[in-house]
Amino acid sequence: MAVLGENRYGKAESRVVRIVRDTPRHEIVDLNVSSSLRGDFDAAHVSGDQAAVLPTDTQKNTAFAYAKLHGVSSPEDYALALASRLLEAAPAAAAAEVRVEQYAWDRLGQHAFARRGGDVRTCEVTVSRSGASVVSGLKDLVVLKSTGSEFKGFLVDEFTTLAETDDRILATSLVARWRHDTTDVDWNASFDDVREVLLSTFATTYSRALQETLYLMGSAVVDTMPGIAEISFSAPNKHHFLVDFSGFEVDGLTNDGEVFIAADRPYGLIECTVLRDAPA
């Protein structure tokens, strides 16, 4: 005779992004939230009876709703509120556990941010009989605009379901590589300057597509840095989907660009090279 031992169940790794946008200076809270319930869930396992089971889908929905309803002043305060709610909503549970990871962002502007501590500096050098080529770069530079980004007017066919938007989150994990046309360069200062031009352009320009933003960033580099002949980008469009609260029976719960699910895949991958125009 088999007997059921310890068990628990829940939803792991909901990527909850909360934007506080009451003023033009937005705040971002970026969380990875996992919840689980343990208690008397024997019937679900032993006889297939789900009457006591608060679905993991509901646990996930509650995690997103609570990012708005309760807010996230700290991961601990939010986790306490969410766990208390889940315990209350599932009478068979003896305990609800909520685990939260919070990703830190540094401010670039009123509504632009860079993930803290992320990016890696790169270089690729070739020395041949005819000279040296130096390509400097960076990767894993994660940046996000919480407004000032639209995507509309695109080609539509019978498989298109994407809605046009005037206001979305734009985020990417940037890979950039730029070619110098000289080796007479203060490499460290040059790197810092390019990184700063990339970030400030991202933060201060309106985006009609990630394509346009990359072009603007690249143009700013080749226009202001005389020794740089071209720059290439590979930029995943890290999609943030507005969570649909309309199906929840909670009075007054709206989502006005405040709570997003950060999807990891699939992702758009936008790549381009921007070159300095040859002198006439």
Binding-site residues from annotation for O2: 56, 237
Q: Least distance in Å: CB of 149 to ligand URC? A: 8
Q: Which amino acid is at 240?
A: H
Q: Least distance in Å: CB of 178 to ligand URC? A: 22
User: In 3D, which of 151, 204, 199 has the Cα closest to residue 172?
Assistant: 199
HSE (side-chain half, CA atoms, 13 Å) at 141? 20
Q: Catalytic pick from 56, 58, 122, 273? A: 56
Site string for ligand URC, 111-130 (x = CB under 6 A): --------------------
Q: How many CB atoms lie within 10 A of CB 239?
A: 18
Contacts of 65 by beta carbon, 8 Å cutoff, 6+ apart: 245, 248, 250, 253, 259
Is 239 annotated in the active site? yes
Can residue 234 be called a binding residue for ligand URC (CB under 6 A)?
no
* Tokens 């991958």, located at residue: 269
Q: Least distance in Å: CB of 239 to ligand URC? A: 8
Residue 181's alpha-carbon distances to 131, 137, 252, 269, in angstroms, are 11, 14, 59, 28
Q: How many CB atoms lie within 10 A of CB 96?
A: 24
Among 237, 245, 274, 276, interactor with ligand URC by CB under 6 A: 237
Q: Least distance in Å: CB of 280 to ligand URC? A: 32
215 in helix, strand or coil? helix
Is 145 annotated in the active site? no
Among 268, 272, 273, 275, interactor with ligand URC by CB under 6 A: 268
Q: Catalytic pick from 26, 111, 238, 239? A: 239
Is 11 annotated in the active site? yes
Q: How many CB atoms lie within 10 A of CB 33?
A: 27
* Cα–Cα dist 112/213, whole Å: 13
Please give the residues from 132 up to 151 whose contact with ligand URC meets the rule CB under 6 A: 151
Residues forming the annotated binding site for 5-hydroxyisourate? 56-57, 151, 168, 211, 237
Please give the residues from 201 up to 230 whose contact with ligand URC meets the rule CB under 6 A: 209-211
Residues forming the annotated binding site? 56-57, 151, 168, 211, 237
Tell me whether residue 134 or residue 274 sits nearer to ligand URC (CB atom).
274
CB 100 within 8 A of CB 33: yes
The residues that are catalytic are 11, 56, 239
The residues that touch ligand URC, with contacts defined as CB under 6 A, are 151, 162, 209-211, 237, 268
